[in-house]
Amino acid sequence: MIGRAHFFRLTPGDADRYADHLLRLDEDDRRLRFFRDAPEFMIVMHAGAAACDGRVAFGWEEGGEIRAAGELVADSARAGVGELAFSVEKDWRRRGLGAALMQALIEAGARAGFARVELEFLPENHAMAALARGFSDEVVARDGRLAATVALKPVVSPG
């Protein structure tokens, strides 16, 4: 297991490293992550947007390479709702990084004033189902996917 994982916020300078991380996902994992075939150009564009457009995006690195990442994207159609997405490279899985990213993004979402965050995944994604179960007891089927919801407690700042 990873001890207390240290995540850093992705900035524009991390776009290439984030793209490299996502490009190391194989075809099956890309489909689990993006819900569709994800060609290289799409992944490069996605990484650039995620690192530059102000969304909360966390990375975890080892030896200068990003090996795990998570994003929180505001749902433009539903105020106060954020969508989460994760990726952990194969050789770094089952060490608690996915769960630690989830916890970090839930805390960041609460600080940013989101009322709830949702996590969508394909029904065959048993890893994500196990991870989601640890945080949400509200998992529903939606448009051929599963959606787990976590209600966030408002953060009250002192003073």
Ligand X SMILES: CC(C)(COP(=O)(O)OP(=O)(O)OC[C@H]1O[C@@H](n2cnc3c(N)ncnc32)[C@H](O)[C@@H]1OP(=O)(O)O)[C@@H](O)C(=O)NCCC(=O)NCCS
- Residue carrying the six token digits 């899985």: 93
* Member of 95, 103, 115, 149 binding ligand X (CB under 6 A): 95
Stretch that binds ligand X, among 28-36, 37-45, 55-63, 145-153 (CB under 6 A): 28-36
* Member of 6, 93, 111, 142 binding ligand X (CB under 6 A): 93
Would you count residue 125 as binding ligand X (CB under 6 A)? Answer: yes
If the CB atoms of residues 44 and 122 are measured against ligand X, the closer one turns out to be 122
* Member of 127, 135, 139, 149 binding ligand X (CB under 6 A): 127
Footprint (CB under 6 A) of ligand X, residues 34-73: none
Rounded Cα–Cα distance for residues 58 and 15 (Å): 12
Q: How far is the CB of 41 from ligand X (least distance, A)?
A: 19
* Member of 15, 38, 97, 117 binding ligand X (CB under 6 A): 97
* Member of 94, 111, 142, 145 binding ligand X (CB under 6 A): 94
3-state SS of the chain is CCCCCCCEECCHHHHHHHHHHHHCCCHHHHHHHHCCCCCHHHHHHHHHHHHHCCCEEEEEEECCEEEEEEEEEECCCCCCEEEEEEEECHHHCCCCHHHHHHHHHHHHHHHCCCCEEEEEECCCCHHHHHHHHCCCCCEEEECCEEEEEEECCCCCCCC
Q: How far is the CB of 10 from ligand X (least distance, A)?
A: 16
Residue ranges binding ligand X (CB under 6 A): 29, 32-33, 85-88, 93-99, 121, 125-128, 130-131, 134
